[in-house]
Structure 1
Amino acid sequence: MGVTSHDVARLAGVNQSTVSRALRGTPGVAEQTQRRVREAAATLGYVPSDAGRALSTRRTGSIGVLSGELTNPFYPELVEPIRESLLAAGFRPVLIPDSPSEPFDPDRWARGVFDGMILATARAGSQIPQQLRRHGIPFVFANREIPAIEADRCVSDNAAGARAAAELIVELGHVRVAAVMGPEDTSTGRERDSGFRNELQRSGIVFQNDHFERGEFTFGVGYAATARLVSRLAPTAIFCANDVLALGAADALMAAGAADSTMLVGFDDISSAGRRVYDLTTVHTDIALMGRTAVDLLISRIEDPTRPYERVVLPTSMIRRRLLAN
């Protein structure tokens, strides 16, 4: 039979319940006691059992992080601060990239695996939040949300950011304006679309159905949509609902020989946006703060399941890089 926490407790001269608390560094256990327990554990070669800990605390120490496909550079920039914050709080992050070809199914393996989940991607009609709730797994929305579902969430002020993008385009004198919008079944897609359109309308700029394209938040969609817009409209300014779309749009403008005559604005301010080859004017959102806030919300929910739900909206700001007046 292997070494148990009872063996460590006898050697250290403490209660068995003190062993796990001392090895976790739980506040309230004297430093001298922690040191004695660690020394006893090292002497006996004791390794704490995650399974045993889960049985005694009803927690696994693991947090699932559901993200979009990692080929989208936005998600690694959001996931990394989530990972760092979870580790600092003593949790084990488990990354789950979600995709149409391999959708995450909580009914298959979430129950009994995670203490909670951070949903960094969500679409209208998704059953994942209801499945998690049915299994008693706390969750928080980050970046995207499903408004009809009561839950903690941390999101950007998407509408305000898109309005600011439209204001800048109008300020620079552009009237032949186009846009590449995101999916309608995402909160980021809907809110950025409405914010941009409403501000153009308020400014008296004509924005008709052939002035925009819509698709997934991918480089390929940005490239193809922009090529079509340039062909039929020759816009002097294009708003893209995220930076990945905008990077694709920038390549399409270069291929069409229109890069020097077309103003381009993105959204998110991912690292690639600031590279000299793109020098992209974009709407900044604090992606790292979003990740850290989502972790704080989830830990608070795990510790107190009855607390009121919180919706944290992060402000946005314009990053003016390459500006072209009409």
Structure 2
Amino acid sequence: MQADASTLHAAVADDFAAVDRTILAQLESRVPLVQTIGQYIIQSGGKRLRPVLVLLAARALGYQGEQHVSLAALIEFMHTSTLLHDDVVDESSLRRGRSTANDTWGNAPSVLVGDFLYSRSFQMMVEVGSMEVMAILSAATCTIAEGEVLQLTNIGNADIDEAAYFETIHGKTAMLFEAAAHAGAVLAKEADAAITPAQVSALQNYGRYLGLAFQLIDDLLDYQGDAKTMGKNVGDDLAEGKPTLPLIRAMQVGSPAQASLVRGAIEKGGLEQLDEVLEVVRATGGLDYTRSRAQEMADNALVELEALPDNEFRASLERIALLSVGRQA
């Protein structure tokens, strides 16, 4: 996906440029450190997939207004605020190949700037002026927070099953993808009564499936990527004791000895047994299984797009779904 990231914006290139300008303008603050940290994390090289989903969803349904730009920018602020908070919670030192904000400025400034970005996103939400969009995004923030807490409470829990894992990744990752596509679709529907509820639901479902595929590949790459490509340290999830799908699958189908090894590594955390765990995950097909589930989610996302008009924006959404399972970072 990394090599093709620039093509993802092509259909909405002008809109995307406007989103960038809006983000920079909305980062302005009378407190210099707020602006410094905000710019650091916003400009750290992410693909901006969530705001792109807003733009493409709205345009795919024929939206011709301008509020989708503000909506896309505030979605990026919401995402960025969660990154700042996540890195503090996870005690991460590396993201996208750069030092995290908390590693550079400390935990307290990172948390507080995250709060600022979240608050600014709600200011911008009011300016968009859609009660339905506000309802979608305010509900999403609760689900995202619940997902993060759920993940935290499952640290070191080797008894988590696949259903509980999917519930967690829906909240912590897929929910914002879902909300981005859903909100973009609602904005278009409010401008054009001919757009059907089924089309809005299709884009909502597309976002959810795409987000699940994206997180599944993230969890896969933690066991087969490399730090230079990924921009984070290999084995970070294991070090934190996170029971992700490659490990859950290994415990499900592995021998008692293999399952016991993985269970112990999750419960203990750390990287002392990383090589042994990697061997078990590969031997039990944990990586292949995780990729197959990601492909399943991407295929589901593509099916949802069949409800949309056949245009360049839908084609871009299709390309994003395909690339989401082929990426290496």
Give the TM-score normalised by the residue count of structure 1. 0.25
Between structures 1 and 2, the one with greater strand share? 1
Q: Which has the larger radius of gyration?
A: 1
Taking structure 2 as the reference length, the TM-score comes to: 0.25
- Larger RCO, structures 1/2 (Cα 8 Å, 6+ apart): 2
- Structure with the larger helix share: 2
